[in-house]
Structure 1
Amino acid sequence: MRDVAAEAGVAAITVSRALSSPDRVSPHLLEKVQAAAKKLQYTPNIAAGTLRSQKSRIVAVIVPTIAHSIFAETIQVMSGIFRPAGYHLLIGHSGYSLEEEESLVTAFLARKPDAIILTGYTHSATTIDLIARAEVPLVEIWNIPDEPRDTVVGISNFDAAQAMTRLLIRKGYRKIGYIGGPRENNDRVEQRERGFAAALQEAGLEVPERGIVRKPLEFENGARALTELLSQNSELDAVFAASDILAIGVLMECQNQGIRVPEQLAVVGFDDVGLASYTSPPLTTVRVPREEIGRRAAQEVLKRLSGGSTEPRIIDLGFEIIERRSA
């Protein structure tokens, strides 16, 4: 660090501040220090800094999967908030397994993260106990519980699914099938299915017999689920797929089977992924503010780490129904 300071023509304490808290130095000084560090190939000793400051400058985040863009976009926005503030992300994906999430939390806590971000509000008792014992801020994203443990940033998946189902009913559809993901350990999927059923019930409609199919969230499973639904319910006039990934698979299978959308079968989805506006026909869906979820989650972590309120709170970012030509 002294070598970097000499190369940059600044004090060693300035180098320390620039590398650990970039927002505390001027852009001009930061540029000089970064250039000197790059020239000398200097890498800060994070472990030693952690011992001195009791801060690792690491935030751990665990998502169910990075195979699809929705969580990747959230993580990317988080990184863009944390990096200028001198924090780095430690990223894990649980594969929708509470046991794997617990294992990741155990491994991450050994690295002394300053905060943890988890997806949803369903976790093992051990996971919650480990985080409580570590006394680090916890932010849960993407879904809203009745009572927050700490900070929650997301949307009501129940309300969003209910709103989409109400839209189908208003448009005159009465025999609506549903394709969702596996509900086990996935509160987002569970709440979407509950919202669908609640909207039908309030309208005096019933879920068609064997009108719900659950499949892992893959394009080909949307196609398989549609075939399964129609073999059991030939009179369906609409399908609500609780993920655009499944819904796009449904649309592709409709093309394969010669089913005209929406004339013979309406199709709606959930998430508003990038492909949703380019399908044939373009997909009606629920827009989830996934980038804003990442932004607000990161901002809430930084507030907590700078001494902000520790009171549990819910930040409901809302959703939007995007009407296109598939329904």
Structure 2
Amino acid sequence: MATERSGIRERRRHRGDDRVTIEDVARRAGVAPITVSRALNTPDKVSDKLRERIERAVTALGYVPNLIAGGLASAGTRMVPVVVPSLSILTFIEVIHGIQQTLEAAGYQVLLGSTDFDLGREAALIDSVLGYSPSGVIMTGLRHHDRTVERLKAWQRPVVEIMELGDACIDMNVGVENAEAGACMARHLLARGYRRIAFLGTGMTHDYRARQRYEGHRRVLAAAGLESDLLFHREEPSSYEAGRRVFLEALEARPDLEALHFANDNLAAGGILEANRRGIRVPEEVAIGGYLGLSLGEHMTPRLTTVAVPRFQMGVEAARLLLARLEGRSLPSTRIDIGFELTVREST
């Protein structure tokens, strides 16, 4: 009977009716609460086998360490962590602005965190911020460590995943079909009459959303019966300099290329600047297309053709979903396709 009552308590807590405590974790793992505390705070002081047993109990119960006192912890703070892969890439700046403006107008504060495209770092960051009992979480992408997904589902507060669209989200989702965005640019280049087309990117080992765009690009070229696997990339952060370098590498390896499809506008701008410096005419000698719709594309010579994504609006919609859930309002949909638009200019 005692075991049954214990199981009922655990299930209630797991559903969010009560907060899971360190004592619950200790009971589940069959150790003392002090051992759980030691495993979480100074893991090098417990054996690997014991630490793994405690981590399994933590994950099973959805335990989050309480880093703030009493009533605040149970009620939640008016703070929302926003977790992105990088704070140095322009991709995320307007998204963050949309989130911040919308949440602050409703009386919430934003806490920014950067993962450097590292899912392990993301998991540790989520573990840390949940301890401060935030109102909800906004995070990037749909791929996370299993532990992160389980922890957030058990947490039972609003979670919005952004930048990528998919069915398998933790809670709510606002994003874009990356493969379709890549396919859109590839179809445009084909319609312009280009046949030898390469995809250029950076950091694609970790940036799987860029890889999704490449797969959409590749699929369109393969369907047209053309060489579809021309990929040039560098394992470094996106920048104008990286765009310049990968532009040169592509043309040195394949001087016959007619068009270059860059993974984002930063890289494409670097390519255009280097082409101008070397007297390579764009698009007469090589066409250049990008992705994002950054305002800098309008000021390049020639102006950059790009697939534009409404990033500010993406942030606004993500914040609105989170606020609706916090306020108990019904949602017509928990999944929003923010869309994209092909912006054709002189570079293609």
Sequence identity of aligned pairs in percent? 36
1:206-221 mapped onto 2 (5 Å cutoff): 206-207=227-228, 210-215=230-235, 216-221=237-242
Cα displacement string for residues 166-208 of structure 1 (whole angstroms, at most 9, x for unaligned residues): 0000000000011023233433112111111011012111126
Q: Which residue of 1 aligns with 2:90?
A: 69
How many residue pairs align between the two structures? 280
Could you tell me how far apart the structure 2 residues matched to 1:126 and 1:186 are?
20
Residue identity in the other structure for 1:326: S
Q: Which residue of 2 aligns with 1:95?
A: 116
8 Å contact kept, 1:286–1:322: yes
Indicate whether 1:142 and 2:163 are aligned: yes
RMSD: 1.9
Could you tell me how far apart the structure 2 residues matched to 1:93 and 1:119 are?
10
Q: Which residue of 1 aligns with 2:152?
A: 131
Q: Which moved more, 1:130-139 or 1:57-66?
A: 130-139
TM (norm. structure 1) is 0.81
Q: Which moved more, 1:210-219 or 1:235-244?
A: 210-219
Q: Which residue of 2 aligns with 1:283?
A: 304
Cα displacement string for residues 195-224 of structure 1 (whole angstroms, at most 9, x for unaligned residues): 11011012111126x543344311111111
8 Å contact kept, 1:176–1:211: no
1:162-241 mapped onto 2 (5 Å cutoff): 162-207=183-228, 210-215=230-235, 216-241=237-262
Per-residue deviation at 1:47? 5.7
* Residues 91 and 285 of structure 1, relative CA distance in 2, 3 Å threshold: same
Could you tell me how far apart the structure 1 residues matched to 2:261 and 2:104 are?
39
Q: Return the match for 1:258 from 279, 286, 292.
A: 279
SS of the equivalent of 1:285 reads strand
Q: Which residue of 1 aligns with 2:338?
A: 317
> Gaps spanning 5+ residues in structure 2: where?
1-67
The 4+ residue runs of structure 1 with deviation greater than 3 A are: 46-49, 308-313
Q: Which residue of 1 aligns with 2:321?
A: 300
8 Å contact kept, 1:60–1:117: yes
SS of the equivalent of 1:91 reads strand
Could you tell me how far apart the structure 1 residues matched to 2:335 and 2:202 are?
25
Cα displacement string for residues 139-177 of structure 1 (whole angstroms, at most 9, x for unaligned residues): 000111243332110111111110111000000000001
Residue identity in the other structure for 2:77: S
TM (norm. structure 2) is 0.76
Per-residue deviation at 1:76? 1.5
